[in-house]
Amino acid sequence: MHTLSEENYLKCIYRLWQDRGQKITPTAIAEWLGNNPASVVDMIRKLTDKQLIIYDKKKGVELTPQGQKDATLIVRRHRLWEVFLLEKLGYDWDEIHDIAEDLEHIKDGTLADRLDKFLGFPEYDPHGDPIPRANGKMAKRHSTTLADVKHGTLCRVAAVKDTTSAFLQYLQKLDINIGTKIQLIEKIQFDGSLVISIAGGERTTVSQKFGENILIDM
Amino acid sequence: MHTLSEENYLKCIYRLWQDRGQKITPTAIAEWLGNNPASVVDMIRKLTDKQLIIYDKKKGVELTPQGQKDATLIVRRHRLWEVFLLEKLGYDWDEIHDIAEDLEHIKDGTLADRLDKFLGFPEYDPHGDPIPRANGKMAKRHSTTLADVKHGTLCRVAAVKDTTSAFLQYLQKLDINIGTKIQLIEKIQFDGSLVISIAGGERTTVSQKFGENILIDM
DNA sequence: ATATAAAATTAGTCAAGGCTAATTTTATAT
DNA sequence: ATATAAAATTAGCCTTGACTAATTTTATAT
Ligand SMILES: [Mn+2]
Ligand SMILES: [Mn+2]
Ligand SMILES: [Mn+2]
Ligand SMILES: [Mn+2]
């Protein structure tokens, strides 16, 4: 079994891997985790020894099939606990991530599956991210962002990329949740700002960065 | 905040303290945790520095008011999670303790209280141990064991002292749960064995050790 | 092609929390 | 009172997973 730290690295690598198709470097991992690159190099050696990753200076870090499997399970636990915290314990959107960050490391053979069943086999977590199934498969991730669509498009908030409470609280203030309908009225050439209408309401302007962190459906 | 290890020591000391009125020695702690006495001496120093315990060679280890408070909260979390695992996730009696051993260390300001509410403010955990309330108070612990009563007494299983799966599985086999009525038919002089009738059924003989681990009501 | 900057790696340090082995202190039995 | 046993403590070592500082490798711009 893996240590808490190994699991956090695994999950980070998994995250970076499916985020973009980019090369996963020690520096990228270090930045994501807020650790020193030297520490990352140490851990890369450990995970390599455990055959969870392969590290090639050219290709960067890649998960082995076993590494993928293990990372997926951690993500599954994380997202299931998030659903539990929100739905059953009444936490807010922006509070659940940090607690799930710890709960995801509780290791028990049947815990995730029982929790899954208890929650009614949810497909998505409260941030709109798909929850890996017991068999490792999971629903498609949304990939189009609000910043990607043409002006005039009416879309539906499917997920959020950023899960910091700064962003989530801003969304709360704007009354945006998963499922909220947003119409893109205009893109400002100058800085990519977006003029939008939330749930048919009046016009609001948000930054490009904001738009890039909203994943949408149509 | 305390580390996982500090919390486990605190809880252990709390346990030994309310178990009997006996002196809490490094050796006793070491035995309970399965650690080396040398390690215990180290941790005693740390907890003393944090003002959670007072150690006197004569009196042994004692919890300070703060130490008591902190230990109580850990126990509260442990027992609430046990209720959750049994009632909501359908685990068996003998499986919940080890998982709760990890869950009890999840630290969040409101988690215990929310869980408590979600579970309907249970007074006792699945082993019959009282759950400390949010204010630190808790219901009286049961203290009379099946081995203590006179022959002929009809009593009710209120709690179990031992929570190992060996004991709990044995109880399952005998069809004994919290609330089960047991009549003590006879005490065998020779070795303290107990002849009992479970829920009005036929006679069964159990050991003295068995009887000492069943706490009862009348 | 070379200078410079960035990234990766190595070497050495640290704290936490274990351990063993050796020693000192305390208790117990003669 | 003394010998012996048990308990407590000290000293030194180990692993994990961080860090900093120094060095080497790789990439980039002139
Ligand atoms: Mn985590
Ligand atoms: Mn999430
Ligand atoms: Mn524990
Ligand atoms: Mn219990």
DSSP assignment of chain A, as one string? ---HHHHHHHHHHHHHHHH-S--B-HHHHHHHHT--HHHHHHHHHHHHHTTSEEEETTTEEEE-HHHHHHHHHHHHHHHHHHHIIIIIT---TTTHHHHHHHHTT---TTHHHHHHHHTT--SB-TTSPBPPPTTS--PPPP--BTTTSPTT-EEEEEEES---HHHHHHHHHHT--TT-EEEEEEE-TTT--EEEEETT--EEEE-HHHHHTEEEE-
What confidence tier does B20 reach under pLDDT thresholds 50, 70, 90?
A: confident
Encoding tokens for residue A206?
A: 């948000």
pLDDT of A19 reads 83
Q: Which residues are close to ligand 3, an ion, with C-beta < 5 A?
A: B 8, 101
Which residue carries 């300070």 as its tokens?
B64
Q: Based on the number of CB atoms within 10 Å of its own CB, is A150 exposed (0-12), middle (13-18) or buried (19 or more)?
A: exposed
Mean pLDDT across the stretch B37-63?
A: 97
Is-contact B77 B112, C-beta < 8 A?
yes
Architecture (CATH level 2) of domain A154-217: Roll (2.30)
Measured CA to C1', the nucleotide nearest A5 is: D17
Stretch A39-67: mean pLDDT, rounded?
97
The dihedral sign for the CA sequence B147, B151, B152, B153 = negative
Q: Which residue of chain B is at minimal alpha-carbon distance from A105? A: B102
CA distance B35 to chain A (A): 20
List chain B domain ranges.
4-63, 154-217
Q: With a CB-CB cutoff of 8 Å, which residues 137-196 of chain B face chain A?
A: none
Strand partners, A56: A60
Nearest residue by alpha-carbon distance to C1' of C26: B57
Q: Averaged over B188-207, what is the pLDDT?
A: 93
Return the number of other C-beta atoms located less than 10 Å from residue B175's C-beta: 11
Chosen for mutation from B108, B118, B165 (greatest number of chain A CBs closer than 10 Å) is: B108
pLDDT band at A21 (very low <50, low <70, confident <90, very high): confident
Does the pLDDT at position A121 exceed 80?
yes
Average pLDDT of span B85-94? 97
In this prediction the pTM is 0.94
Per-residue pLDDT tens over the stretch B164-178: 999 999 999 999 999
Rounded Cα distance between B133 and B137, Å, is 5
Q: Could you tell me if A99 and B114 are in contact, meaning their C-beta atoms sit under 8 angstroms apart? A: no
Other C-beta atoms closer than 10 Å to the C-beta of A99 total 20
DSSP element (H, E) containing B156: strand B154-160
- Quick check: helix, strand or coil at residue B102? helix
The structure tokens listed for A183 are 């119409």
pLDDT at B104 over 80: yes
Considering CB atoms only, which of B88, B102, B106 is closest to A118?
B88
Pick the CATH number of B4-63 from 2.40.33.20, 3.40.50.300, 1.10.486.10, 1.10.10.10: 1.10.10.10
